[in-house]
Each structure stands twice: as structure tokens, then as C-alpha cells.
């Protein structure tokens, strides 16, 4: 039986998204290794200047509304990167990846403040995720300042996701991404200016990691997402993005020698289960016959959110 072109494109899109999450998974160990020598804000500045330069062609057609939304989104985006990078100075990369993925659970919870109905499955998923964090933290000696920074990163990234959902209905996704990248690059470059000269030797030492973070992890995945999500539904995308913390744990073990103990595995498993429940609430409630399917699924990333309009992207990793 022949395979239809649409099925081929769908398969191609899924493979692109899996590769994207694999690349994101490498972010945490690379950041963990680099932030030892380079301050968080300098690292962010160099990374986003490189990524922004790639997106220069998409700045040709700007208007006031596009710039306004891009600046708003870029501010939330910058907040998520700062909190993540600072948090990684003190906690394990694999643990940070699982905690940052809580944005999957936070999205349906924060939608309550936008006047949307809160599904009971989302509440259950949030509770399960909190238990998972508690178990992981118990293994690591309790919650520390680094955990709180990562928790703040998950919250700020959730705000970014919700803001982007509305913005991508009005603007071309790549142009919107370009403004965000330039905003983050510009603000972080000004902020990092006093330390840049002093840290030039460290930047030169880690130029390979910085090029990888800027050109591959940030710029390239933005484009791969925008292409892939023309062929893959938002709900499928959300589920595929749950592979990111799994890949992060694998690369953290391989590159940094980090290991989860028994409690760490249990906690990570609970967080992954919470993410699945938060994204599967529509199917589960329909199966139970207790509710109608909502108009759309809760999403986990800017790309997933924008896929309904491209159909788009960019995510944190």
C-alpha cells in the first residue's frame, strides 16, 4: 500500500520534533559546564547575539503592533532564561530539566486567570508534579535556592507561552521570534557590558559551547519547529516535548556523570506522569464520559501554541 504525501510529511515533522527535543536535552549539561566559567548574563548575551544575527532577514517588515508584542514576549523570555541559567549554577542539570518542564502543568493552571475553565485533570497533574519535586528534593537534601530559581523559570516560561498563544494569531511567527531574540540580545548585552571585557578569556575558552548554544540550540531549533509544526498537531507536539527532560537526564549522565538515585527516578517519573496527565485530560475525560472535548489542548511550548496559526515557534532550550 502506498504512503500518502500527507503521511510522509507528518512522519517527517515528528522526526524533526524528536531531533529538536534531543538538541534541547543537551542544553542543560552544556549550560551547567559553561556557567562555571562565564557569568549567567554574559552567557545569555553572547548566545542570543549569535541567534539574533541568524534572524536578521525576518526584520524587514516591522510595524508598531508587532514590535510591541515582540518586546513583551521577549521580556518574559529573558526572565525565563536568566532564572534557568542562575539556577543551574547550584543544582544538577538533569534535575533542573525535569523541574523546568513543569511549565507543561502550569499552562492549564494559569489559564484559569484568563477566564478559562480549569479541568480537574490539570489539578491532579499539578499535585502529582509537586509530589515528584518533593521526592527529588528529598534525595538532594531539600529544596535549595537553585530549585527556587528553576521553579521561577518554569513560571516565567509559562507566562511566555500564554502570551505567545495570543501574539501568534496576529503576526508571522518567525518575524515575532526575531524581535524577541533581538530584545533578549540587546538587553542582556547592555546588562553584561561591564563584565564582557573581563570575561573575554573565558568566552574564548568556551567559544565552541557558545556557538552551539546560539546557532544550534536557539536559532536552528526555532526554524526546525516552525517547519515541523506545519505537519504535526499541537497536541502531538506537546507530548513529544516531554522527551526533553528524558534526553537531558541521559546527556547529563553521559557528559557530566550525574546520576539519579532511587528517589530521583521516582520523582522524575512522577513529574513525567504529571505532564502526560496534563496533556491527556481531554482524551481521558472523553473516555470517562464526564466532559466534552475542549476546543484545544493545553500546550507546552511557543511552537506548539503557534502551530495552529502557521502554523510556528521557539522554546527555552
Q: Mind listing the pLDDT tens digit for each residue in 246-268?
A: 777 777 777 666 666 677 677 77
pLDDT value for 292: 42
Backbone angles phi, psi at 264, to 5 degrees: -65, -45
Average pLDDT, the chain: 75
pTM: 0.69
pLDDT value for 313: 32
Rounded Cα–Cα distance for residues 219 and 54 (Å): 7
pLDDT value for 27: 85
pLDDT value for 294: 38
pLDDT value for 114: 64
Rounded Cα–Cα distance for residues 313 and 317 (Å): 12
Exposure b/e, 213-232, CB count within 10 A at least 16 = b: bbebbbbbbbbbbbbbbebb
Backbone angles phi, psi at 301, to 5 degrees: -150, 160
- For the chain, which ranges sit under pLDDT 70? 1-5, 104-105, 107-108, 111-119, 122-123, 126, 129-130, 133-143, 165, 168, 226, 229-230, 233-239, 242, 255-261, 264, 275, 278-317
pLDDT value for 182: 93
Amino acid at each position: 500500500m502506498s504512503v500518502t504525501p500527507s503521511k510522509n510529511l507528518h512522519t517527517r515533522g515528528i522526526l524533526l520534533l524528536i531531533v529538536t527535543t534531543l538538541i534541547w536535552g543537551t542544553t542543560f549539561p552544556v549550560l551547567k559546564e559553561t556557567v562555571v566559567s562565564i557569568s549567567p548574563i554574559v552567557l545569555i548575551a553572547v548566545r542570543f547575539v549569535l541567534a539574533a544575527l541568524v534572524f536578521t532577514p525576518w526584520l524587514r517588515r516591522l510595524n508598531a503592533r508587532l514590535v510591541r508584542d515582540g518586546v513583551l514576549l521577549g521580556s518574559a523570555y529573558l526572565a525565563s532564561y536568566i532564572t534557568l541559567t542562575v539556577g543551574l549554577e547550584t543544582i544538577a542539570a538533569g534535575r533542573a530539566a525535569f523541574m523546568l518542564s513543569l511549565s507543561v502543568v502550569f499552562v492549564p493552571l494559569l489559564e484559569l486567570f484568563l477566564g478559562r475553565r480549569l479541568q480537574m485533570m490539570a489539578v491532579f497533574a499539578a499535585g502529582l508534579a509537586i509530589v515528584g519535586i518533593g521526592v527529588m528534593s528529598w534525595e538532594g537534601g531539600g529544596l535549595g535556592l537553585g530549585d527556587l530559581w528553576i521553579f521561577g523559570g518554569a513560571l516565567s516560561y509559562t507566562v511566555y507561552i500564554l502570551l505567545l498563544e495570543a501574539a501568534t494569531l496576529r503576526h508571522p511567527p518567525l518575524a515575532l521570534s526575531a524581535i524577541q531574540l533581538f530584545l533578549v540580545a540587546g538587553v542582556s548585552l547592555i546588562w553584561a557590558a561591564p563584565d564582557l571585557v573581563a570575561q573575554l578569556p573565558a568566552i574564548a575558552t568556551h567559544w565552541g559551547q557558545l556557538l552551539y548554544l546560539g546557532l544550534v540550540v536557539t536559532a536552528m531549533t526555532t526554524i526546525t519547529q516552525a517547519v515541523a509544526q506545519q505537519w504535526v498537531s499541537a497536541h502531538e507536539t506537546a507530548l513529544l516535548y516531554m522527551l526533553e527532560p528524558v534526553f537531558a537526564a541521559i546527556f547529563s549522565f553521559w557528559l557530566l556523570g550525574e546520576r539519579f538515585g532511587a528517589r530521583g527516578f521516582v520523582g522524575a517519573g512522577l513529574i513525567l506522569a504529571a505532564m502526560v496527565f496534563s496533556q491527556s485530560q481531554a482524551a481521558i475525560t472523553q473516555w470517562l464520559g464526564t466532559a466534552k472535548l475542549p476546543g484545544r489542548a493545553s500546550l507546552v511550548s511557543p511552537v506548539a501554541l503557534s502551530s495552529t496559526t502557521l502554523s510556528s515557534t521557539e522554546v527555552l532550550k
